[in-house]
Structure 1
């Protein structure tokens, strides 16, 4: 089988990198590996081009430099060097075999045996190689068939592969979400369920990264259902609950943050616990927190003044997120949710039109009284739907009331 019509394969940068490696190790010393080969076979976009080679990391580094390309030693201990050609990175890894593993990290030895390298990979559809001309090599004998049929099958014994790295449990479901069709592989699913307790060895960052990648899939629903049935979802997200609202959110939005949001209750304490345990990025943490706080004020029956008040207090993003959630929870009210969401996203909250200087001109000295009066003004201004005039008179009245 020959890969054809692949821009990345014909690109000048790709050819320069492969030529550099073959100049040092001879024809066939380097092959494309993994996702780029898999995606090319099934007609999916290729984002990253990874290369496997029989050259040692030191030889790879020397070959890249000798060709006038930039070489970055991104993981020499594990055999990885990154070549930069035409501003594009190519991750190049020496063929490896595992010497020992602890479920998280592996001690490896370098090899020149392509079958040994394939045997340590996670799934058969990822253990695919292609030479510089696009000729495909399938050491397991099933990788091409799996890729074309949408089967996610472990290389060799599923339990052995998982014990080498328990993250492969989550990768099983993530790859099924992206590339799987039909039912998940029964042996792989059973192994994931049996060995799920071992995921306690994984860092929160690794878990959350896999979960977010899974939720980014066009339709993560079947994979999430399988993960839930296997008891894996409950281990990584005990607050999570699959519901019809999740399926509706998948239909409404491709945003993985919204898909995560609908899995847990709209409660600030619960959301904070999820963000802390999964060590979510600050951006995701803050977005979840803002939506959970805004949820107490947002519903599909709200008037435009109430909507604007909520946007002023919590921000348009938070209110729009909650409204999308409400639309997923109440599909019959989707038009109302969409209309309100468009208003929330399209309205720019005005700045508070008065400040401490205005109060100073009225004889109020800086201090607690200034803060109290500004809060009182703001509350009335919001309640009256942000009037554009009459600010001075309103402020003067508040000052008189305070002195009376």
Structure 2
């Protein structure tokens, strides 16, 4: 199988990498963290590169690209630990483009593609943990529209998003709805996240909403799988840069008059980090390639990928801090921020233990390897 990237994909990677290297320096990252964890100007710059329209069809003003291009972009954003949630835009684009009625697509997708609006998925509830089929938020039909009541937690950029895609129960079945932040009955409470980004709680009280689809669970699973694939790719980028920073440090840090990179035991640890990185990269490719597969196959693939990525992210983050010594855990030094990002990504859309259970539940006679 040919895993080479096309010229267009490589050019896309180069463009995003140049922006990260020049436009999203560690100093700018720290300034955004200090200012609250989200910068609309930075998100607008991503949109100007066309990245907000990556999954939006050309008819709706986007680039009409697919999962491989999304993976390429998220890897490069991971290398720069970019805080602005482009992965959420990919989810919103996929859900609106794949499930929303034509009128809703026409009203929102061009604005999503241009970066005019940020739409995020608000699906997590405290009692549900990582389960997608548990939902306490309710939807009631009101004339031609709907009203929603409930609370969603850890919503990305909750107090900066322009609209939310919200699952809610209507007559015992889950539907998926679009809620504008400026609508009546909508309130948000923002907070910082472990990696310095922005999230918050979304509270809805008889908030007016637009129906995206009545097959909410199917759509939600698809949206979360887009998010998992994006998080896996982002994690690969974070790990790739973490390994590079660690190797650079070991080549300059001296003990007993020689660089610590010459110590055999430490070289072996770096080799183990590199092995985990390549295992993670291959599973990220696998996840992206399976995004358009049938539901059961896609869901199983995402769980497998997330298990490997979670294992690799935890190992590489811990080893990087260990190899840096005390400086590795200080906020002033860059590697600590990469470690925090890896820690958060490991828990995003379900931690390793959760997805290990998902893999186990989907095992067939072949133990899940070829099924």
Normalised by the length of structure 1, the TM-score is: 0.25
Which structure dedicates a bigger proportion of its chain to strand? 2
Greater relative CO, 1 or 2 (CA 8 Å, sep 6+):
2
User: Computing the radius of gyration over CA atoms, which structure comes out larger, 1 or 2?
Assistant: 1
